[in-house]
Amino acid sequence: MEPEKNTSSKLPMYFSIAALAITAVMLIFSFMKHGDMSANNGTDSITTPKNGHSIAYINTDTILKHYELVKELGDKLEEKTVQYEKEITGKQAEFEKEAAYFQESVRKNSLSENSAKEIYQKLMDKQQSIVEQKDYYSRQLSMEENRINVLLVDTVTHFLKRFNKGLNFDYILGFNKNGNIFLANDTFDITKQVLAEMNRQYTVSNPKPKKK
């Protein structure tokens, strides 16, 4: 009578920021009237065509890699993942220790049949509890990742709407190495300006405490 050992206690790692849904976002700003560029939001080096539809794009891989909000959310999610894994690993180690002791007691015939059945059932219940806890943490991490995805898409969408007021692009596309755009003219790349302004606004809104 040997309880099964759960040899896999590692929680799935859900904080793959590079795979966030924002990488597939295409933001369309149509029916806008052309206007003058804003000179105070990092757009000095951006030009828009005088006639016809104006198009720009951002490299979402770059945004996801260097945007301070993404870094902060990713770090927090990783910390929570490590915390959950540490807890599950501890419970799993405790279970395996108890299971090994039980098996040794059975081998030495130091337990009555009733005692062995009772301990065995408790071990099975404990093992099931660990599995359920692990599944619960996995769901929590998945929900948190989805929340971050929604937050990032919403943040970038609203930022670009404000950013575009002085530029009046008709289309701002999301470009990344795994997307469907295989070639893009660097002239229309506004990633640098967008990233700089996003990080500037984020830093202003979330100042870091000064080091003593």
Q: Name which residue leads in pLDDT, 28 or 134.
A: 134
Is residue 1 one of the residues assigned to a domain? no
With a cut of 70, say whether residue 97 has pLDDT above it: yes
Is residue 11 one of the residues assigned to a domain? no
Beta strands 171-175 and 55-59 are parallel
How confident is the model over 160-197, as pLDDT tens digits?
999 998 888 998 998 888 877 778 888 889 999 999 99
How confident is the model over 51-91, as pLDDT tens digits?
567 889 999 999 989 999 999 999 999 999 999 999 999 99
CA distances, 174 to each of 48, 100, 164, 180, 207 (Å):
18, 55, 14, 10, 28
Is residue 44 one of the residues assigned to a domain? yes
Q: Name which residue leads in pLDDT, 6 or 86.
A: 86
Q: Distance between CA 5 and CA 91 in Å, rounded? A: 12
| Burial category of 120 from C-beta neighbours within 10 Å (exposed 0-12, middle 13-18, buried 19 and up) | middle
- Residue 4 pLDDT grade (very low, low, confident, very high; cuts 50, 70, 90): low
pLDDT at 177: 82
Q: Name which residue leads in pLDDT, 181 or 5.
A: 181
DSSP 126-170: HHHHHHHHHHHHHHHHHHHHHHHHHHHHHHHHHHHHHHGGGT--S
With a cut of 50, say whether residue 103 has pLDDT above it: yes
For 171, the domain range is 17-204
Is residue 36 one of the residues assigned to a domain? yes
If one counts the domains in the chain, the total is: 1
Is residue 45 one of the residues assigned to a domain? yes
Is residue 149 one of the residues assigned to a domain? yes
Is residue 12 one of the residues assigned to a domain? no
Average pLDDT over residues 133-157: 94
How confident is the model over 13-59, as pLDDT tens digits?
433 333 333 333 333 333 233 333 333 455 555 655 555 678 899 99
pLDDT at 15: 36
pLDDT at 25: 36
Is residue 172 one of the residues assigned to a domain? yes
Q: No. of H helices and E strands in the chain? A: 4, 3
